[in-house]
């Protein structure tokens, strides 16, 4: 896999540039809260599911690919589990502080959907199909864990865990549909019918339409991230020590944990780099959403997400240097 430090650095910088329009529009008060919510809904309910579906339409079924998907799922569970265990032990939070609950959540769960998938799509370009398939698997694990263990970390209350939210969300449903088609049809829909037949024309057109939606993930997701960052109080970046603790945990500690677990395993480089990049992303947008929905410290959550996102410009390429020196 021919990746360089410059490739990774440029991809990170260009992605963050895409945040600027959303940031400016919110700062200039040109977008209402309802419009901002509409952008998020579009990404979550339409564009990301379309990207998941189309990733599986660019690769035919193979036993090796199916095995690699299981490996990615297992390793994602292992790494998340190891980081969850560390955070629960290192930050016991006997006083039930909302700030520490938020810190534990933000240190474990990264922005693998809103920033991770666009990053992979931009970095690998036309060769991203296999990477995006593995990325979809990681995001399903992420969704299941955030709506179960993550809810408990944020609230300290097991009763807040909602199985329906954990399983019946757009990303999980779209991936389940894509995987079902992947194992049953075992080839892209456009290859099922004879060339120039009615079925071929219908599914070729349908695929193009869904591809247009999938291609919107990168600009829309980064625009949404810019909108959310525009609402953060920048002064807190210099006064909240826990924001720096979170940035260290999420950007360095979890990245190193991923490297140490996957670097020497006898699995493909695509599997290793997919896990590394997605799990080295800054703190998830869900940190803010969960803090708001479950009565947590939403101000601290916003600062954690912002600082880790800014610092990721440097940490992702630098951590890549460590990873590439081992793999």
pLDDT digits (tens, 9 = 90+) for 287-307: 888 888 787 788 888 899 989
* Residue 87 in this model has a pLDDT that exceeds 90: yes
Q: Regarding predicted confidence, which is higher, 148 or 194?
A: 148
Q: What is the pLDDT of residue 126?
A: 66
Q: What is the pLDDT of residue 113?
A: 81
Mean pLDDT in residue range 33-44 = 81
Give the pLDDT band (50/70/90) at residue 33. confident
pTM recorded for the entire structure: 0.88
In sequence order, the β-bridge partners of residue 110 are 283
Q: Regarding predicted confidence, which is higher, 194 or 135?
A: 135
Q: For the chain, percent helix, then strand, then coil, each to nearest 5?
A: 80, 0, 20
CATH number of 5-326: 1.20.1530
CA–CA distance, 243 with 96 (Å, rounded to integer): 18
Q: What is the pLDDT of residue 293?
A: 78
Domain borders along the chain are: 5-326
* Residue 1 in this model has a pLDDT that exceeds 70: no
By the 10 Å C-beta count (0-12 exposed, 13-18 middle, 19+ buried), 287 is classed as buried
Judged by average pLDDT, the poorest of 4-8, 65-69, 77-81, 294-298 is 294-298
pLDDT for 240-272, tens place per residue?
899 999 999 999 999 999 999 998 899 999 999
pLDDT for 207-231, tens place per residue?
889 889 988 888 888 888 888 888 8
* Residue 283 in this model has a pLDDT that exceeds 90: yes
Where on the phi/psi map is residue 125: left (φ > 0), alpha (ψ -120 to 50), or beta? left
Q: What percent of the chain has a predicted confidence (pLDDT) above 70?
A: 99
Q: Alpha carbon of 18 to those of 10, 11, 12, 101, 119: distances in Å?
A: 13, 11, 10, 31, 12
Coil/strand/helix, residue 28:
coil
The residue length of the chain stands at 327
Mean of per-residue pLDDT scores for the chain = 87
* Residue 155 in this model has a pLDDT that exceeds 90: no
Is the torsion defined by CA of 286, 290, 292, 297 positive or negative?
negative
């Amino acid at each position: 896999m021919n990746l360089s430090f410059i490739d990774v650095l440029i991809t990170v910088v260009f992605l963050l540039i895409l945040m600027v329009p959303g940031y400016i529009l919110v700062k200039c008060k040109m977008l209402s809260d309802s419009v901002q919510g509409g952008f998020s809904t579009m990404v979550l309910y339409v564009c990301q599911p379309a990207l998941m579906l189309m990733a599986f339409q660019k690769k035919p079924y193979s036993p090796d690919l199916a095995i690699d998907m299981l490996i990615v799922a297992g390793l994602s569970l292992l790494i998340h589990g190891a980081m969850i265990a560390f955070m629960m032990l290192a930050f016991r939070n006997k006083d039930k502080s909302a700030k520490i609950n938020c810190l534990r959540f933000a240190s474990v769960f990264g922005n693998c959907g809103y920033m991770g998938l666009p990053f992979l799509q931009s970095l690998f370009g036309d060769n991203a199909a296999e990477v995006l398939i593995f990325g979809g698997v990681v995001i399903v694990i992420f969704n299941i864990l955030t709506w179960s263990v993550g809810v408990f970390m944020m609230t300290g209350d097991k009763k807040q865990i909602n199985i329906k939210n954990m399983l019946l969300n757009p990303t999980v449903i779209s991936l389940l549909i894509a995987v079902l088609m992947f194992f049953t049809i075992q080839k892209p829909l456009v290859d099922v019918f004879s060339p120039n037949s009615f079925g071929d024309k219908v599914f070729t057109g349908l695929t193009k339409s869904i591809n247009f939606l999938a291609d919107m993930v990168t600009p829309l997701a980064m625009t949404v991230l810019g909108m959310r960052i525009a609402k953060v109080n920048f002064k807190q970046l210099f006064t909240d020590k826990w924001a720096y603790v979170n940035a260290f945990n999420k950007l360095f500690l979890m990245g190193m944990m991923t490297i140490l677990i996957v670097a020497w395993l006898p699995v493909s480089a695509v599997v290793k780099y997919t896990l590394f990049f997605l799990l080295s992303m800054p703190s998830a947008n869900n940190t803010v959403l969960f803090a708001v929905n479950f009565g947590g410290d939403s101000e601290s959550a916003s600062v954690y997400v912002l600082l880790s996102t800014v610092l990721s410009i440097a940490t992702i390429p630098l951590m890549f240097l460590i990873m590439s020196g081992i793999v």
